[in-house]
């Protein structure tokens, strides 16, 4: 059951962040924040992905919270991988013949970021992954509108 948008309470970690700087974000924190957002705004997502951009809701609490989720998602995806993740990235990188599927430029393991998107997971440059995540959130229409600006 979703509460009315616009009356959302501040994020539970807001007080902690003011006292002691930004705490290290864990994937558990991310899952909890994502679940909270989805419950309050009655949205659903696939496999921990970023929820759809709340278009038409600029300057609302939901828009601010979506931006906060987006930044948290970026922080997590830009972080150094553990051993299992490195192995997974290496496997993808080899399957992609050492190239980023978006810009098609060479990609090495250190700069490879995993996009665990079903049905086509891949590793990309951080900036290319940012582009994909934003495009996915904004939708194909936004990509069409972008064409007039490049």
What residue ranges bind Zn ion (CB under 5 A)?
100, 102-103, 125, 128
Pick the closest to residue 8 from 72, 50, 65 (CA basis). 65
Q: Minimal distance in Å, beta carbon 130 to Zn ion?
A: 10
Token digits of residue 27: 């994937």
Q: Indicate the residue among 103 and 143 with the shorter CB distance to Zn ion.
A: 103
Smallest separation, CB 113 to Zn ion (Å): 9
Q: How far is the CB of 14 from Zn ion (least distance, A)?
A: 35
Residue nearest Zn ion (C-beta atom): 100
- The token pair at 140 is 């194909």
Asked if 114 and 102 count as a contact pair (C-beta separation under 8 A), the reply is no
Closest separation between CB of residue 109 and Zn ion, Å? Answer: 14
C-beta closer to Zn ion: residue 100 or 137: 100
Nearer to Zn ion (CB atom), residue 87 or residue 103: 103
Extract long-range pairs of 125-129: CB within 8 Å, 24+ residues apart: 125/100, 126/77, 126/78, 128/100, 128/102, 128/103, 129/77
- Indicate the length of the chain as a whole number: 150
Report the number of secondary-structure helices (H) and strands (E) in the chain: 6, 2
Nearer of residues 50 and 107 to Zn ion, judged by Cβ: 107
């Amino acid at each position: 059951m979703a509460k009315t948008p616009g009356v959302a309470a501040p994020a539970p970690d807001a007080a902690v962040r003011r006292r002691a700087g930004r705490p290290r974000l864990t994937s558990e924190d991310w899952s909890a924040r994502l679940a909270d957002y989805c419950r309050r705004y009655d949205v659903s997502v696939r496999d921990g992905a970023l929820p759809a951009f709340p278009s038409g809701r600029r300057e609302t609490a939901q828009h601010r919270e979506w931006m906060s989720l987006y930044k948290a998602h970026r922080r997590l995806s830009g972080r150094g991988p553990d051993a299992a993740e490195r192995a997974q990235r290496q496997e993808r990188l080899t399957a992609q013949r050492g190239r980023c599927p978006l810009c098609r430029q060479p990609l090495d393991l250190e700069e490879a970021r995993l996009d665990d998107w079903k049905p086509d997971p891949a590793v990309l440059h951080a900036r290319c992954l940012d582009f994909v995540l934003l495009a996915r959130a904004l939708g194909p229409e936004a990509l069409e509108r972008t064409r007039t600006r490049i």
